[in-house]
Each structure stands twice: as C-alpha cells, then as structure tokens.
Amino acid sequence: EYETAEDRGFGKDQRAVAIDGLAIYVNSRSSIPGLTLSQLKDIYTGKITNWKQLGGKDLKIITVSRDPKYGGTPKYFSDNILHGEAFAPSLQPYLDNTTNTIALVAANPGAIGYATASEVCNQNTIKPLAIAKEAGSNFVSPCDGDAVNSVVIANDSYPITRRL
C-alpha cells in the first residue's frame, strides 16, 4: 500500500494517535507487589521459575500469553520486553483472548499474565503489579484503583507504554 501510494504521488506520514499501557497481572492472592522489567523478562524467558526467587511464596510460576503472531499486544511484549528472546518452553499454550488469560491467572495462584491496562484495572479476580524500569528505580502502577492511571501512562513514568 505504501508503494502504491508513492507511485501515485502521495507521501506517507505516521503519527501516534493514542498511547497504551500494558499491565502485568498476577493471581489476586499473590504477595508480589511489583517487578522490574528485567525480572519480567527473566520470568517469561524461563530464567526465573518460582516466586520464591523474587521473595514470594515457594510456588511455581505459570506464564500466560496470547500468541504474538495474532495480536499487537503480545507482539509488542515479545519485541520490547523479551527483546526477541523466545518465550520459555514452560509457557502455557497460547490462549486466544485476554478473557481466557485473565481467567487462567485468576484460577492459578502462581500465574502471571499481561494485557492492555484498560482490560486489567477494573478486574477483581487478578492483581495488577507495579513495574520499575530497573532495580533501584520507582515502582509505578498502571492502575489507580480500578481505573487506568492515565497520568503515568501519558507522561511515560510507567515503563511499559506504546504509541499507537
């Protein structure tokens, strides 16, 4: 489409029209208050496999995701959080929608998932986590109560945002 437009004399320009925050969530009974981006990557690539390694309960981590081939959010997660590394072999089979990922995390005490913040903040069967860019930096939640914390997403102090 770009080439056809250029052939017809049209220029192309891309502009962000929205911003999205990805929320990381765990089972509501989890004692983990937050994660750094590197811890999140290590969980999803299989380097961290038990919540005890992060100061939580001795409980196997169950990672949940939708297939990056079929959605912008999982593709973004794979490219920008995992930096192209493969998901851990222990990853649950890919689920087809966010509703199913939330249900799986809600039903399993060791589970962790991710989704756009607007689909997570108003849920009461899961718990959104605060995220820090790196160890020693501030943990920031994408949620303010049961609403999206649009201020921290808009000003990029929440570390997992993307322009749409």
Torsion of CA 144, 150, 155, 160, to 10 degrees: 80
Q: Mind listing the pLDDT tens digit for each residue in 2-60?
A: 788 888 888 767 776 778 999 999 999 999 999 999 999 999 999 999 999 999 999 99
Distance CA 127, CA 33 (A): 9
Residue 26 phi, psi (nearest 5): -130, 175
Rg value, the chain, Cα: 17
Which pTM value belongs to this model?
Answer: 0.89
| Mean predicted lDDT score pLDDT of the chain | 93
